[in-house]
Amino acid sequence: MKFGVNSLLFTDTFRESDLPLLEHVHALGFDTIEISPVEPDLFPAKKVNQLATSLGMAVNMNFALPEDANPISPDAEVRNKSVALSKRIIDLCNEAGATVYCGSNYCSWRYFTGKRRSDDEWKWGVDSMRAVGEYAQSRSDLIIALETLNRFESYYLNTAADAEHFVDSVALPNVKVHLDTFHMMYEEDDIGAAIRSCGQRLAYFHACGSQRGIPGRDLVPWDVTFEALRDVGYTFCITIESFNPHQRIAPLASIWRDFADSPEQLATEGLKFIRATYKRVYGNE
């Protein structure tokens, strides 16, 4: 099992000036960094690949589609733009040596119509993701993992069951499910059952405090969660995703207080707890 942390805990985006973050995260004990290239045109993908390789680190990428490139927009031009942007992100993933492209990559983050998901929106989303998935499949072994989001961030895929149905509708082997304990605490009746239902569709996992704070100092049923991950044979990567309350992401993620004395404290104490829980439940070092 690999253990990662999201770059947004430390920085707003990821430019060339952020490259030292890889060494910093590595020194904190992580073997994986999940990068959110908020400004794709400024993302130093090749240099990330080179540095990560030299450090023996793995890279995953997380990107949230903006509303002007929304795969479920009623405007066909906007949907086409979403496919084009997604292909650009996939190219950057490959340049950076990423294994997984995760996040709100199937609809725009924080996009709402004031109504429930429609049949048309479902079709538009599936068609767009199939085009993106086929493009990715033709380029590399990159996995596209679709993150379920809570009701305050999206209305499109809120539960593991939603994501399973979507993945099955896209019907491509490189399009799978991404679950996050923060969102699951809002939406699932039973976290363990939701993970087990995903089974082999589960490609990526975020271990986040129920309040986005330090894992282990929160309300997530961690033993239940790890037992379910063990039961479905999940062994890829567990990543801590939280955000710095002093960065521009904070108001978008509704973060109004400090969850730790520093990003480093949140990262290291969270990692210590997650590693210990993994070792105890899986019976592995």
Whole-angstrom CA distances from 12 to 36, 54, 155, 248 are 9, 24, 25, 6
What does the pLDDT read at residue 244?
Answer: 82
- What percentage of the chain has pLDDT greater than the value 70? 99
pLDDT in tens, 32-78: 999 999 999 999 999 999 999 999 999 999 999 999 999 999 999 99
pLDDT in tens, 240-271: 999 887 777 888 888 899 999 999 999 999 99
Computed on alpha carbons and rounded to an integer, the radius of gyration of the chain in Å comes to 18
Rounded Cα distance between 87 and 107, Å, is: 14
pLDDT in tens, 72-83: 999 999 999 999
Which residue, 170, 228, 169, is CA-closest to 202? Answer: 228
Q: Where are the domains of the chain?
A: 2-282
What does the pLDDT read at residue 252?
Answer: 84
The chain-wide mean pLDDT, for the chain, equals 96
HSE toward the beta carbon, residue 144, CA cutoff 13 A: 31
**pLDDT surpasses 80 at 154:** yes
Q: Which numeric CATH code is attached to 2-282?
A: 3.20.20.150
pLDDT in tens, 84-131: 999 999 999 999 999 999 999 999 999 999 999 999 999 999 999 999
What are the structure tokens assigned to 282, written together? 């899986």
What does the pLDDT read at residue 249?
Answer: 81
Rounded Cα distance between 105 and 120, Å, is: 18
What does the pLDDT read at residue 285?
Answer: 58
What does the pLDDT read at residue 227?
Answer: 98
Angle between helix 263-282 and helix 222-231 axes, rounded to 10 deg: 60
